[in-house]
A and B are shown apart, each in its own frame.
Chain A
């Protein structure tokens, strides 16, 4: 009996302004959070991550791309058990640009050729061969490449205008020579249960899913919109709630889960990810008075007058504005009298 009562009491009452409470529950601890992003020194691939208030703002504003995207890529069973096999997959994913493995480039304008001198040390560190780099570079730029003496790469530009040759050189140094675009540096990490998985400092789950050995159903990214595109709105909601929770936890702030769940639910209620604020949730307010009370008062009122808009007085703002009781708590109930019953009482 007590259990049942406790359960009933802990559930929310009808008419409770849960949104306001959620906003305050998150807003107050927010004042204590770190206002600036700072970089931590860590061993993992995700050493630099946006945290604290900037990350919370990023999530609530529903930014298209997080400022520090990460991926956690889980592998198929046969790959997840050995480090060597997991590392093989990680090498296929890890994004390496030409610029980070070359020492310098020499252009020959008269022959239309570019010689790229590789930095053997960083090549070895990244476990790349000149041949694979040359092949990938050729594919990315659409030019002919071959491995020359001393393991250097020669690009035949098939053009003799110095401008075009230079353009290719510039493009080459920015080109990807290994891995997946946007995936960032990928590293193998071991979970507590001994499973090997890959962490990377970038996000491109669409492409990573295609890589052999990757378990496509278990990729996690902190990029909300990528999750939404690939796994749908429910997954995006869960990511949003999880990211909010994690960010708050990192700052040693405890906010009740139900507030976070509510925010995540509200942001994804219409099937897309909406930001909180003027352009998202609040901007969808139907009431003229509520909109006019917020910003650009005259514009909203003139528009409403010109188009004959109706205010149904269902929200909080508009009712405060005209001095009526707000439709929350006590105000959410309407009282009427049954005529017959009233007459009976009179007698």
Chain B
């Protein structure tokens, strides 16, 4: 996700990046996307038939 999109999403929800679920930089999927710490990854989830967007904040440890 681009950084402007991230700040728009966060302010619409009234939260900060520290509130988001995390993903490690060493995670296989984060590596595949070449994500850096501080990035936010948008995930399209299919959960029990419902689809929605989920976010994970990339952290070092």
Contact = CB atoms under 8 A, between A and B. Distances in A.
Most buried by B among A232, A238, A260: A232
Q: Give chain B's interface secondary structure class.
A: strand
Given A232-B29, A233-B56, A234-B56, A271 B48 contact: no
Interface residues of A, number: 19
B40 interface: no
Interface string A231-245: 111110010010001
A234 B48 contact: no
B47 A241 contact: yes
A250 interface: no
A245 B48 CA distance: 9
A224 to B, nearest CB: 14
A261 interface: yes
Interface string A244-271: 0100000000000100110001001111
Contacts of B43: 234
B21 A269 contact: yes
Most buried by A among B24, B27, B56: B27
B30 interface: yes
Contacts, number: 45
Contacts of A233: 23-24, 27, 29, 56
A235 B21 CA distance: 14
Interface in B18-61: 21-24, 27-30, 43, 45, 47-48, 50, 56, 59
A230 interface: yes
A272 interface: yes
Contact of A272 (B24, B47, B50, B56): B24
A271 B56 CA distance: 9
Nearest to B60: A271
Per CB-CB distance, the 7 closest pairs between chain A and chain B, nearest first, are A232-B29, A271-B22, A257-B48, A271-B24, A232-B28, A232-B27, A269-B21
A232 B48 contact: no
Given A233-B56, A234-B56, A261-B47, A270 B28 contact: no
A230 B24 contact: no
Contact of B23 (A231, A232, A245): A232
Contact of A271 (B27, B28, B45, B47): B27
A284 to B, nearest CB: 13
Nearest to B49: A257
B61 to A, nearest CB: 9
A231 B27 CA distance: 8
Nearest to B48: A257
Nearest to A261: B47
Nearest to A235: B29
Contacts of A245: 48
Given A231-B28, A233-B27, A234-B56, A261 B48 contact: yes
